Amino acid sequence: MSDPIRVGVIGYGLAGRYFHVPFLKALDEFELRAVATSRSEAQEQLPSVRIVAHADDIFEADDIDLVVIATPHRLHLPQTLKALKAGKHVVVEKPIAITSDEIKTVLETAESTDRLVIPFQNRRWDGDFQAIQKLVKSGLLGEIHHFETHWIMFRPQPRGVWRDEPDQLGGILNDLGPHLIDQSLLLFGLPHTISAQVMTHRVNTNVDDAFRIQMYYDNGLYVLIETDVLNGGNVPRFAIRGTNGTFEKFGVDPQEAALRAGMNPDAKEWASWTEKGKLIHGGEDGLNIIGEMDIPSGDYRDFYRGVASAISHKADSPVLLSDIMNQIHILEAVRESSQTGNPVKVTKI
């Protein structure tokens, strides 16, 4: 076996603590060397890891091959560029950047330094989304004409975290929008038109807390992407309608909840669960078949396995920067549509 990839993580909040460090510790392909954080509990929780106070201690370290950036959104772009120029590969939380020009800068810097930048789009490895990918590809539902993706939460009061600060690229669009848009683009590609509303409903906040994105396609497909922090109801996480069937799935992938509850990805129980979705399929002679479809568990470990393979030149990156270029292109159209109140044509990149 080749030597493990030596990793430094910047940030030990929600993302660093739950979505990155456990997987880097669980997989033999990696060796977690250092974490940059001001959180006092980090050393107790990671006794064998070097805890440093500043990101520069990670960038300048000779024993780091890969930098994982799990910091507030406003730091993603400058820290990614600094890590690349220091000769490190990068895994970076979403959003990497806000504009297409910024993503082009990342692409150019990665090419000039011959380093990889791998966006952390972990929701590609949600079990329900992977099941939907297979279902759409199978053709079982016929021609898809309607797709909805919702993220449900109820937070009537801001939590006082950096995501609630407008000068730090806070707001729900920058937080969840990249995930939901990424999944929709993987399923159906770029639309021809976008109509969107980005809203703030809570009176005691200065950042957006709801968005509704409507995407229109040449073949008649309609996609609705929606999140509202005041939605305490029971709408499906995913809903698909086709000419020969429909599919609905409620509830979110359980991996995040398992991580927050303290389960480690190397536990035997990890990725052993099965979810259910409701499937209605048009049978022969006008009969409709109504039943449940098993949804096997996803596994976020597969993202980092893909990272190791890409760094070792055994496979392409598990998430391509060109995909993120399309995602940012959509986000730009969303903001324009919301500000002007008009639909926006999506030009090919």
- DSSP string of 23-84, one letter each residue: HHHH-TTEEEEEEE---TTHHHH-TTSEEES-HHHHHT-TT-SEEEE-S-HHHHHHHHHHHH
Residues 188 and 207 in one domain: yes
Q: How far is it, in rounded angstroms, from Cα 101 to Cα 332?
A: 11
Digitized pLDDT (tens) for each residue of the chain, 349 residues in all: 579 999 999 999 999 999 999 999 999 999 999 999 999 899 999 999 999 999 999 999 999 999 999 999 899 999 999 999 999 999 999 999 989 999 999 999 999 999 999 999 999 999 999 999 999 999 999 999 999 999 989 988 877 676 667 666 778 999 999 999 999 999 999 999 999 999 999 888 888 899 999 999 999 999 999 999 999 888 999 999 999 999 999 999 999 999 999 999 999 999 999 999 999 998 777 778 889 999 999 999 999 999 999 999 999 999 999 899 999 999 999 999 999 999 999 987 6
CB atoms within 10 A of CB 313: 8
Residues 268 and 148 in one domain: yes
Residues 280 and 154 in one domain: yes
Residues 101 and 30 in one domain: yes
Nearest to 114 by CA among 89, 142, 146: 89
Q: Domain range holding 269?
A: 123-302+329-345
How many H helices and E strands in the chain?
A: 11, 16
Residues 224 and 334 in one domain: yes
Among the candidates 92, 120, 148, a domain finishes at 120
CATH number for the domain that contains residue 273: 3.30.360.10
The answer to whether the pTM exceeds 0.85 is yes
Residues 198 and 129 in one domain: yes
